[in-house]
Amino acid sequence: NAGVMQNPRHLVRRRGQEARLRCSPMKGHSHVYWYRQLPEEGLKFMVYLQKENIIDESGMPKERFSAEFPKEGPSILRIQQVVRGDSAAYFCASSPRLGGKNTEAFFGQGTRLTVV
């Protein structure tokens, strides 16, 4: 059973380009969370999705950032017109369902985005 898979592992973008980060949850998991980690900071929640639904996007910047989790395929975090301040590690986590026995989230290896 593969864990949470994120790709790419490293992504370099020039200012103004778009960044697309992908996350495939663990098999059987229908909840996906995206977190951002800046240097020397903890993980900051960005968005929580279930299949075809955004449940909580309170941590997402209002502009340039969007996320989706389609019925088929991975969850995508999209950052348009990237700026240097977007450089960070972006982690995806998945869990089977809230309120169940195993409520710990399992994390992917992260995507390190560098904006040059």
Partner 1 sequence: EDKVVQSPLSLVVHEGDTVTLNCSYEVTNFRSLLWYKQEKKAPTFLFMLTSSGIEKKSGRLSSILDKKELFSILNITATQTGDSAIYLCALSPSGNTPLVFGKGTRLSVIA
Residues that bind partner 1 (CB under 8 A): 4, 33, 35, 40-45, 48, 55-56, 91, 93, 98, 103-110
CB of 74 to partner 1, least distance (A): 16
Query: Nearer to partner 1 by C-beta: 79 or 110?
Result: 110
- What secondary structure, in 3-state letters, does 93-112 show? EEECCCCCCCCCCEECCCEE
The C-alpha angle 78, 19, 64, rounded to 5 degrees, equals 50
Q: Which is closer to partner 1, CB of 4 or CB of 21? A: 4
The secondary structure of residue 85, as a DSSP letter, is G
Q: Is 84 helix (H, G, I), strand (E, B) or coil?
A: helix
Nearer to partner 1, 14 or 28 (CB): 28
